[in-house]
Chains A and B, each alone.
Chain A
């Protein structure tokens, strides 16, 4: 028994195939979904989605949205999604540093 996972963003379909299990992070914590889960509709926070195929775990970063889990069909609609393998750690580190400096600068401006 497998789950059919579909991850959609406004610009493209990020994932559309079968998986064994997923771990989703919502506003009320992380939930794990196995086959034959009860039907739920939930909001998804900005966080990491973990997908298990056979014995391998894949990660994907989601930028918030909604998820609907029905009879073995999971549909996740998010503003944006990036596969873990597509993210370059160096680039992400640089972007993080730039954003942190930007935040500090904004604080100074506000204080003035």
Chain B
């Protein structure tokens, strides 16, 4: 009872002994003090300030935890689709081969990224690899162009490679991804861009914690002809008799378009999975950091509170003893 009364007395005095706010402490370099305790001469920082900080950190923790749950549920939805679409491009690779090392004149780099942020470093790695491919393939007679899917890559590539960008497509994920949508997109790209080889850069989803940036190569039919004639990996294409159209060239053209749309579909799905997985782990580490910060702030709060109580007690007792005698 007495303690409560003393505490109430102390609180009335507290605003008079007004401390400097925390920000001012950080900006004064001459005073070598521990960040939370304030400069020498002021006993403590106000518990109110610490309490406000704790409240905002707690809110942030709740929000990031919720975002992690949302990302987890979205991941589960897209993951089954991505796994089903993986089997699609294997026959193409078996027939036409995957030749990233083919030397071609016109390269088109299709960079797939996310529209929303807060998903870790996956977009930066995709952009880095696209720029790397651009550098690898630059030289006399060779040109490389970009086709960008997603806001994040657009923001990064518009800054320094503006003249090389052919096509930008954003807001891909407003409606759930379907093959028809992606095939229309692939059609648009094929119509507007001249290419010898298309390199699709995306993040392949291996597991919830591992996303590997990968490049898939789709060659144009002329290059396929050239390579198959020169032998090597594509030599077995000739052993297949090609039927079902006027000329072999027409079939190969259709095949290349179909291959491109299948590979794009798989790439977009895998990138979506990787985005949700990266967001999950980013939000998870963020809420864990918020928890740590909250622990530290609680300790500071308790220390501040106890220091203020001790100060009040000392003043009252010394005042009382001065009166006595």
Binding site for B on A (CB under 8 A): 6, 8-13, 26-28, 31, 38-44, 65-66, 68, 70, 75, 77, 79
Contacts and interface: CB of A to CB of B under 8 A. Distances in A.
A40 B236 CA distance: 11
Interface SS majority for chain A = strand
B245 A10 contact: no
Interface string B249-266: 001001100100010010
Given A27-B244, A40-B240, A43-B245, A10 B91 contact: no
B31 interface: no
A41 B85 contact: no
B179 A41 contact: no
B160 interface: no
Contacts of B251: 41-43
A69 to B, nearest CB: 8
B243 A28 contact: yes
For the complex of A and B, 9 pairs with smallest distance between CB atoms:
A10-B179, A42-B244, A43-B244, A26-B244, A42-B243, A75-B91, A41-B240, A40-B241, A39-B240
Nearest to B182: A10
Contacts of A38: 241
A75 B85 CA distance: 15
Given A41-B251, A65-B258, A11 B179 contact: yes
B95 A41 contact: yes
Contact of A77 (B81, B241, B258): B258
Contacts of B84: 11-13
A12 B85 CA distance: 7
A30 B239 CA distance: 22
Contacts, number: 70
B255 A39 contact: no
Interface string B69-86: 000000000000100110
A31 B241 CA distance: 14
Nearest to A78: B258
A68 B244 contact: no
B228 to A, nearest CB: 12
Contact of B91 (A9, A12, A43, A68): A68
A41 B240 CA distance: 6
Contacts of B242: 40-42
A11 B95 CA distance: 21
A62 B243 CA distance: 18
A69 B262 CA distance: 19
B325 interface: no
Q: Which of A10, A31, A38, A66 has the most CB of B within 10 A?
A: A10
A107 B91 CA distance: 41
A11 B255 contact: no
Contacts of B265: 10
Given A28-B244, A42-B243, A43-B251, A11 B81 contact: yes
A14 to B, nearest CB: 11
Contact of B255 (A26, A40, A41): A41
A2 B201 CA distance: 39
Contacts of B15: none
30 contacts: A6-B91, A8-B87, A8-B91, A9-B179, A10-B85, A10-B179, A10-B265, A11-B85, A12-B84, A13-B84, A13-B87, A26-B243, A26-B244, A27-B245, A28-B244, A31-B243, A39-B240, A40-B243, A41-B95, A41-B237, A41-B240, A41-B251, A41-B255, A42-B244, A43-B244, A43-B245, A66-B254, A68-B94, A77-B91, A79-B183
Given A11-B81, A77-B91, 14 more contacts: A8-B88, A10-B85, A10-B88, A10-B179, A26-B243, A28-B244, A39-B240, A40-B241, A40-B242, A40-B243, A41-B243, A41-B251, A42-B243, A68-B94
